[in-house]
Amino acid sequence: MSLRAQSVLFKSLSYLGMVALIVVIGLPVFWLVTGAFKGNREILTATPQFLPRSFQFDNFARAWTGAKFSTYYVNSIATTLMGATAEIVMAVTTAYALVFVRFPLRNAVFILLLLALMVPEQVVIVPNFLSIARMGLLVTKGGSLEIADFVRGWLAIFLPGASIAFGTFLLRQYFRTIPMDLTDAAKVDGAGHFSTMINVIVPVATPAIATTGLLSFTAKWNEYLWPLIVTYSDQLRTLPIAISRLLDAEGNTEWGVVMAGAIFVVIPVIIVFLFAQRFVVEGLAAGAVKG
């Protein structure tokens, strides 16, 4: 076989591989989206139905009203906003202090943060559960909840995960590449640390901060184990936990409604990533390859 033929064959095989990849990754997504528009009769048919006969929004309406999705959305949005905001603010201030503020134990503090990166949340859920209970943040009462109960429940979900090690590490690496001239100029102008951070560092580091924020946002939005443990009332559940309530234990699940519910859960993350995906992918990869 000539070299040219060989290269053509190789290219074709590569494209074939790519098509296989698209099918394997894409088909479940396709099945999710089309399923959400199918009626129950179309789903239970003996012959495969790849496309819904007519696009109906019936399933979405039924998922929304049938399973209190509005409450779950409020809980998810509240806890995600609290968590992601806290993480971004603390990642920026901590990384700034570690790079630009003089303190004798600076490196010890940095190592302490690095070590925290290696302790997975799962191994400390039992003692943290007891701590949250002792702080009076567990909402155990049934019936309809008041605003104060919601706030307590949100705090219980938010607090243990509010600190941030990975983002701090990412931003510290980024801040170190910022030329000292910039901060020195601000200092000459008489700016304190707070105004230097807000007016000089944050504008320069916006891409890295955005990456950190997006990672925090998805992690909080998708969080499952901890919110499951600290919420008893159905009114405090977040979206990822609520979705499985649409499944029917007796095996008579209405798949169209469940798929519509799943779309409610993933759509905010999908929208955010459509705009910012390259950003995050590059940030993650840079952290792994250079870090």
Partner 1 sequence: MMQTPAKRFSFSKLLKRDWREWLTFLLFVGPNLGLFVYFTYYPLIRNVLLSFQDYNTFIDEGEYIGLTNFVDVFTDSQTSVILRNTLVFTVAVVGIILVLGLMVALLLNQKLRFRNGVRSLIFSPTVLAGSAVAVVWIYIFDPRTGLILQLAKPFGINPPAWLLDPASAMIALIIVYVWKNLGYATVIYVAGLQAIPADLFEAARVDGANAVQRFRHVTIPGLSPVIFFLAVTSVLTSFQAFDLIRVMTGGGPINATNVLIYRLYEVGFGTNSSIGRASVIGLILFVIMLVVTILQLRYLERRVSYA
Buried-exposed string 126-136: b where 16+ CB fall within 10 A, e elsewhere: eebbeebeeee
Question: How many residues interact with partner 1 (rule CB under 8 A)?
Answer: 94
262 scored as a contact of partner 1 (CB under 8 A)? yes
| Shortest spacing between CB 8 and partner 1, in angstroms | 13
Q: Segment near partner 1 (CB under 8 A), from 51-59, 105-113, 170-178, 203-211?
A: 105-113
Which H or E element spans position 64? helix 58-66
76, 222 Cβ separation under 8 angstroms: no
| Shortest spacing between CB 147 and partner 1, in angstroms | 25
Q: Segment near partner 1 (CB under 8 A), from 55-63, 146-154, 203-211, 281-289?
A: 281-289
120 scored as a contact of partner 1 (CB under 8 A)? yes
139 scored as a contact of partner 1 (CB under 8 A)? no
For residue 152, which amino acid is it?
A: R
Read off the DSSP letter of residue 200: I
Angstrom CA distances, 67 to 239, 244, 257, stand at 10, 10, 10
Q: Segment near partner 1 (CB under 8 A), from 9-17, 65-73, 139-147, 173-181?
A: 9-17
243 scored as a contact of partner 1 (CB under 8 A)? yes
182 scored as a contact of partner 1 (CB under 8 A)? no
284 scored as a contact of partner 1 (CB under 8 A)? yes
What residues does 231 pair with on adjacent strands? Answer: 139
x/- mask, partner 1, residues 75-104, rule CB under 8 A, reads ---------------xx-xx-xxx--xxxx
| Of the candidates 242, 229, 241, 79, the residue with the CA atom closest to the CA atom of residue 139 | 229
Sign of CA dihedral 49, 51, 55, 57: positive
